Amino acid sequence: MTNTQVTLAQIDNYGPWTVTPNPRKEVDLQTLQSRLYADLSQLVGMHGGYVFFTRFDNMVAITNGLDLEDHARIQESIGNRYPVTLSFGIGTSTSPRDALVDATALLQEAGSAQDAERAEVLAGQTTEPTPAEDDDVHLAHFDVNDATGEYTDELDAYSTFIHIEQAYASLMRYLHDAHDGLAFFVGGDNVIAVVPDLERAAYEDAIRHVREDVDMDLKVGVGSGVTAQDAGMAAKHALEICREDGTHVEGL
Check if the beta carbon of residue 233 is closer than 8 Å to that of residue 139: no
Nearest distance from C-beta of residue 197 to its own copies, angstroms:
19
Q: Does 199 bind its own copies (CB under 8 A)?
A: no
Q: Does 178 bind its own copies (CB under 8 A)?
A: no
Q: Which of residues 222-251 bind its own copies (CB under 8 A)?
A: 229, 232-233, 236-237, 239-240
What whole-number distance in Å separates Cα of residue 24 and Cα of residue 117?
21
Pick from 251, 234, 226, 6: nearest CA to 131? 226
What whole-number distance in Å separates Cα of residue 181 and Cα of residue 198?
10
What whole-number distance in Å separates Cα of residue 57 and Cα of residue 137?
25
Q: Which of residues 146-165 bind its own copies (CB under 8 A)?
A: 148, 152-158, 160-162, 164-165
Q: Does 174 bind its own copies (CB under 8 A)?
A: no
Q: Does 14 bind its own copies (CB under 8 A)?
A: yes
Residues in the chain: 252
Stretch that binds its own copies, among 52-60, 122-130, 195-203, 204-212 (CB under 8 A): 52-60
Pick from 34, 51, 111, 43: nearest CA to 75? 43
Nearest distance from C-beta of residue 247 to its own copies, angstroms:
16
Helix intervals (H) in 5-67: 14-18, 26-45
In terms of Cβ atoms closer than 10 Å to its own Cβ (0-12, 13-18, 19+), residue 96 is buried
Q: Does 46 bind its own copies (CB under 8 A)?
A: yes
Nearest distance from C-beta of residue 203 to its own copies, angstroms:
19
Residue 142: CB atoms within 10 A of its CB come to 28
Comparing CB distances to its own copies, the nearer of 68 and 172 is: 172
Check if the beta carbon of residue 198 is closer than 8 Å to that of residue 207: no
Q: Does 76 bind its own copies (CB under 8 A)?
A: yes
Comparing CB distances to its own copies, the nearer of 183 and 252 is: 183
Nearest distance from C-beta of residue 134 to its own copies, angstroms:
19
Check if the beta carbon of residue 126 is closer than 8 Å to that of residue 90: yes
Stretch that binds its own copies, among 81-89, 119-127, 129-137, 203-211 (CB under 8 A): 81-89
Q: Does 68 bind its own copies (CB under 8 A)?
A: no
Nearest distance from C-beta of residue 45 to its own copies, angstroms:
3
Check if the beta carbon of residue 7 is closer than 8 Å to that of residue 90: yes
Nearest distance from C-beta of residue 29 to its own copies, angstroms:
7
Nearest distance from C-beta of residue 77 to its own copies, angstroms:
5
